[in-house]
Amino acid sequence: MPTFYNFKQDGNTHSFDDVFISADAFRQGNLWVWGRNSYGSLGINDSGSRSAPVTTFAGGTNWKSSFSTGGQTEAIKTDGTLWVWGYGGYGALGDNGGGNRNTPVTTFAGGTNWKQVSTGAAIKTDGTLWVWGGNNGEAQLGNNDTTARSVPVTTFAGGTNWKSVSCGFYHNAAIKTDGTLWVWGANNATSIGINGGGGSISTPVTTFAGGTNWKQVTCGYLTTAAIKTDGTLWTWGYDYLPGPPGNAGILGNNIFGGSRATPVTTFAGGTNWKQVTNNDLFSYSATKTDGTLWIWGRNAYGQLGINDTTDRATPVTTFAGGTNWKSVGGCAAIEYIDPVL
């Protein structure tokens, strides 16, 4: 059943099936943030954590998309500008400085044609891929060296057909418009899925699985998860935590510990996975086309939302249940505002 509105132009009643409205008209809105704020990652001009959503210090109702993880936040406005705040060590904010920022600032590169952003990487509307921040000796910037960059630079691979990008702690992954999946950075315990462990890959390469039907990808600490256009969910890398207990079932393959050198499907299987995201480097969340929300991995602080603190090595539904989950992400969200018509 469509939702009906009485549009101002002619006073008649129409459904949204009757009209075309730019998608950006629905995506603009307030930017809300919450959670830990040690490095000013909430952008509210202080370092106090918030247990309930608050708007950023920058304000405004023209935020289009956001990404928040690892002590920093990035967001794009409807005017195409890219804003960053939070932890600024190793040039992580791309603003040509090394200090933390507790309010949003634009990257040094500037511009009004930014399309999609992750932590330390972004894609422009012209299809170019840009990276910045620490290289940690692991070559995770993909520009053929291990030198940190405090301003955005293009990857060594170049090209103008990059579609989406995701950044992990030591490695990155991106999908091109032709459906190919590319990875680079640390290959500790096969975290980038090229069928070999150890060393680093300083320029983007395709995964061992190959294929031209990759739809979406997300990176964690030493693991990666991705969805294909056929709706299957794949994971690879090393189920490892830097502290006890040492593993948390992050790969979702019903095993605590161990690694996978090439992409494998999760224990849950299925062909109706819609979107997957890494939560806190050590756990994942995913939605299915039936509207259900699934999570797995580390749960020491209850981050899986299943009413306990036990890690899960296979995807499980949240305690809230339901079949009306639309999308999932980190601790930042855009409030959609209906357009004025």
Could you tell me the CA-to-CA distances from 224 to 124, 189, 192, 193, 272 in Å, in that order? 23, 12, 7, 8, 19
Question: Could you read off the pLDDT of 222-257 as tens digits, one per residue?
Answer: 899 999 999 999 999 989 888 888 899 999 999 999
Q: What's the chain's average pLDDT?
A: 83
DSSP 29: B
| pTM: predicted TM-score of the whole model, two decimal places | 0.85
Question: Could you read off the pLDDT of 96-112 as tens digits, one per residue?
Answer: 988 999 999 998 888 99
Neighbours of 220 (CB within 10 A): 28
DSSP string, 111-158: -S-EEEEETTEEEETTS-EEEEE--TTTTTT-SSS---EEEEEE-TT-
* 42 and 101 Cβ atoms separated by less than 8 Å: no
Joined together, the tokens standing for residue 6 give 């009485």
Question: Could you read off the pLDDT of 202-218 as tens digits, one per residue?
Answer: 888 887 778 999 999 99
Residue 95 has pLDDT above 60, yes or no: yes
Residue 194 has pLDDT above 90, yes or no: no
Q: How confident is the model over 103-124, as a mean pLDDT?
A: 92
Neighbours of 82 (CB within 10 A): 25
Residue type, 38: S
Peptide bond into 53 cis (omega under 30): no
pLDDT of residue 336: 61
218 phi and psi angles, rounded to 5 deg: -145, 145
Q: How confident is the model over 322-328, as a mean pLDDT?
A: 85
Place of tokens 């400085």: 97
